[in-house]
Amino acid sequence: MVTQIKAAHYMIFSISAFALFILMSYYASTNTVATQLHSHINRAFHPSHRMLEANSTKIELNGANLDLNSSQSHSADSISNLIFKNLVNPSGSINGTYYQYLVNQSQAEIPNVNSESQKYANFNSNTTSTSTTTTTTVVPQIPVKKSPPSNKTIDTTKGVITRDLYESGHIDSPPICANNGEDIKLVIIITSAPAHLQARLAIRQTWGHFGTRRDISLAFLVGQTGSTQMDDALDAETKLYDDIIRGRFVDSYNNLTLKTISMLEWVDQHCPKAAFVLKTDDDMFINVPKLLQFIEKKQADKRTIYGRLAKKWKPIRNKKSKYYVSLEQYKPPIFPQFTTGPAYLLTRDCIRDLYEKALNETYLKLEDVYTTGIVAQAVGVKRVHVNEFLNRRIAFNACNIKKAISLHMIKPPEELDLWKKLLDASVKCK
């Protein structure tokens, strides 16, 4: 009997010891993996290697190779934060899953964006985003200094001085103009809606590549959204490309004039010595070589805006119209001639005068009428018609593309098609 009891005790002890051995082995292996992971990260971001260079990488997404290029340096601490979240690889290249999140963001409705933008808008306005689907992908928390949009609601049809609506300054300002743009021949500012990631990617991969030249600078200008999710997406995009300017205005159709004023302020503060400034939109195709040829012929010109000139346009007095202009906003029966908004070119010597005068005129949401018409006339800036600024959609044949400076209503997938036709040296045009 005693022998049987001892045997039972021995068996119980053996089983317990084996279970304890398995448990300790599992813990040790888990701890080793965690230790190795942290050791790898610590080596990757050792203080002696504080900056990482984000290399070009190709991502297979829905059967298409997408080439993401960035020559900008990134803070090791910021990228380390993304690596821990499995969003960016240690090399600095973007993770395919997170890229899908960014693409989804460009197609998705910002949660509660209508109610939030109405709450924060400078005045009653419609947001620039469109509604399709939403995403639940976790976004990185990258600290960025922000200030909340103004919660004022003002009826501008009653006649409001623009200075009372505009908040100066910029949240993000990329370092694209060394020495105040002294060696910059052309700075291109592309006004973009925050959700238009695909449009920005398409431009970066096509005609936006001219921004890598030392004599050309290029940046996208966006406003605030009131959405933490969209702000986080813009934070991540900014970390990768460092080519986004963020103003302090709420990004909406009714605030397009504030957006243009923000562009003028940024150029005046950061790039005042650049010879020419092109203002354009993210649904445009710009033939940069053709534009540079045009600029070479205009080096001696002063205080001029070039573009597609609109003459004898009348204010719309129908209150139901999207383009309604009240008598309090603008009383004369005809607008001054102006260059249409999709793309226009400015000489550097008129930037400051346009910015300062724009703040002191009665606000009008029609940004091209306001900036290149009313304000430009008030400060004596000439507006000159240029046939090559088409600012409209045309047939996509190679010679049309090569002869034009600016084309409008271009979808992101079409940018690459136009880019290939522009570079096709086998096509001979008369």
- Work out the percent of the chain whose per-residue pLDDT is above 90: 61
Q: Is-contact 393 344, C-beta < 8 A?
A: no
Question: Hey, CA dihedral for 402, 408, 414, 416, is it positive or negative?
Answer: positive
202 pLDDT above the threshold of 60: yes
Q: How many Å apart are CA 216 and CA 1, to the nearest integer?
A: 96
- Give the lowest-confidence range in 7-16, 154-163, 240-249, 375-384: 7-16
Q: Which of 68, 31, 21, 126 is nearest to 365 (CA)?
A: 126
| pLDDT for res 153 | 72
Pairing of strands 186-191, 216-224: parallel
In what helix (H) or strand (E) does residue 380 lie, and over which residues does it extend?
Answer: none
Average pLDDT value over all residues in the chain: 76
Rounded to 5 degrees, what are φ and ψ at 272?
-70, -15
- Cβ contacts of 38 within 8 Å, gap of 6 or more: none
**Which amino acid does the sequence have at 42?**
N
Higher pLDDT, 38 or 207: 207
| pLDDT for res 392 | 85
273 pLDDT above the threshold of 90: yes
What are the DSSP calls for 245-309, one per residue? Answer: EEEEEE-BGGGHHHHHHHHHHHHHHH-TT-SEEEEEETT-EE-HHHHHHHHHTTTT--SEEEEEE
Q: How many Å apart are CA 360 and CA 25, to the nearest integer?
A: 74
Q: How many Å apart are CA 210 and CA 213, to the nearest integer?
A: 6
Q: Is-contact 165 358, C-beta < 8 A?
A: no
Q: How many Å apart are CA 175 and CA 173, to the nearest integer?
A: 7
Residue ranges and CATH numbers for the domains of the chain are 156-423 (3.90.550.50)
Q: How confident is the model at residue 121 (pLDDT cuts 50, 70, 90)?
A: very low
Other Cβ atoms within 10 Å of 107 Cβ, number = 17
Higher pLDDT, 54 or 310: 310
